[in-house]
Structures are given as structure tokens and as C-alpha cells.
Amino acid sequence: MGRGSAVSAWPRWGERRGRRGAQRPPRTGKTGLELARIIGGQGKGRRLKSPRGRATRPTGARVRQTLFDILAPRLPGCRFLDAFAGAGAVGLEALSRGAALVVLVDASAEAVAALRANASALTATGGEVRIVRQAAPTALAAFAEAGERFDLVYIDPPYDSDLYETALERAGRRGLLAEDGIVVAEHFHKRPLPERIGDLSRTRDVRVGDHRLSFYRRQPESARPQP
């Protein structure tokens, strides 16, 4: 096992198969929401608590499996930002798979309480977890201003929100995204996202059922619009 995870807070600033291979529906709680669990790495199998009183939509196991299959070479030792963390299914999956630092951002007090409980349950996986209670666009701007740089940034606001463009623009700022960093946005497959926004250019998108993962990287200086 790895060294214990350090959990800190920054102030304001799989499917199972039954007999003969028949698929069983995912386990759900009293609200009918799927109960997320870690699907890979040292914390594999650990269930995650959902925030009380919120219809949080955790990123499903199939989407996470696709995401982390793609990101696998970049995970060991990376700095990972989960900007709309909810229960922390994506960020804590990154922790379980070797991220050195995971920052979990959510504006909800209920989400932060769940994040603390879930992060504490993964203390044996190694790495550091920081939890920030703040609106994601505000936190992204603050990180960029402070020079808190990340190798991987995950953006997953409510699918019907208008936060995607703002979050993407701020995630791509030089002070926040490492030079070779990647921003990933999870969104409904029929909801288009721009090919270019701010300093970011989309390099790949992958559909997983009704969901889509859009991958962005910083554009070369020569490709950016000149003032």
C-alpha cells in the first residue's frame, strides 16, 4: 500500500453481472441515484457517499473507465483538479490511480461534507487531497491568479448549465494549466462545445452512451488569435 493520503481544506478560495453473463442494474440508493464506487487503483471497490439533499449526478462507471483508460499514462504523480466535484467520483478515482495531488471544488456545503468523508476513506491510497468550497468559475480564476498549476483539469457542471464556456476559458489560462496539460469536459452528447475557446483547442472527443468527453489542450502561441 502507498503512504497515507493527506486531506486538507482550502478556505473559500461497475456494472455487476449475474448468472450466464446477464447484466444487473447498478446499485442505487433510496433516492434512486446510482451509488458511485472507485473502479480502479488502490482504492478499487470503495463506495462513495453522495451529498445529502442533492440530486447529484455522479460520473458513471462506464464514463470513468473510458476517461481513465485514455488518461492512464498521465496519472502517476500528476496534479488533478476536479472543478465540479460533487461526491468526488472522478477526482478520487484519479487519487486511487496514482495522482500526487487532487483538488476537489464544489460550492455546496453538503457536497463538501461528502467529499471530506470520501477522501478520508481513501487515506491508504497515497497522495494529497485538498477540498475547496467555492463556485468553480471563481476557484478556477483564483488558482490561475495564484499560479496553482495542474496537469489534468476535469469540468463536469450540470448538463443544462451555462457554465461550460466560462469554466473552459478559465481552465486554459497559463497560470492554471501546465504547458502539456489537458482539460476534459464531460457533457451531454447533443450539447455542442466550442472547438476553440480562450487558449484551448479541442483535440479529441469520445462518446460514451448519452455522454461525451471533450479533450482540450493549449494552442501553440502561433495558432492563437493576435490582438
Beta strand segments in 1-137, E: 6-10, 79-82, 101-106, 128-133
CA–CA distance, 20 with 30 (Å, rounded to integer): 28
Instruction: State the burial class of residue 82 (Cβ atoms within 10 Å of its Cβ: 0-12, 13-18, 19+).
Output: buried
- Give domain status of residue 111, yes or no: yes
- Give domain status of residue 36, yes or no: no
- Give domain status of residue 30, yes or no: no
- Give domain status of residue 2, yes or no: no
Q: Do the beta carbons of residue 39 and residue 65 sit within 8 Å?
A: yes
- Find the CATH number of the domain harbouring 97: 3.40.50.150
Q: Do the beta carbons of residue 25 and residue 18 sit within 8 Å?
A: no
pTM of the model: 0.84
Residue type, 113: A
Instruction: State the burial class of residue 214 (Cβ atoms within 10 Å of its Cβ: 0-12, 13-18, 19+).
Output: buried
- Give domain status of residue 142, yes or no: yes
Residue type, 53: G
| HSE value, Cβ hemisphere, 13 Å, CA-based, for 203 | 14
- Give domain status of residue 112, yes or no: yes
pLDDT at 225: 53
- Give domain status of residue 80, yes or no: yes
pLDDT at 18: 34
Domain count, the chain: 1
For residue 215, the enclosing domain spans: 57-223
CA–CA distance, 114 with 80 (Å, rounded to integer): 19
Per-residue pLDDT of the chain (227 residues; tens, 9 = 90+): 444 556 655 544 432 223 333 333 344 443 334 468 999 999 999 999 998 765 556 789 999 999 999 999 999 999 999 999 999 999 999 999 999 999 999 999 999 999 999 999 998 888 999 999 999 999 999 999 999 999 999 999 999 899 999 999 999 999 999 999 999 999 999 999 999 999 999 999 999 999 999 999 998 765 555 55
- Give domain status of residue 7, yes or no: no
pLDDT at 224: 53
| HSE value, Cβ hemisphere, 13 Å, CA-based, for 82 | 27
Q: Do the beta carbons of residue 124 and residue 5 sit within 8 Å?
A: yes
CA–CA distance, 70 with 74 (Å, rounded to integer): 9
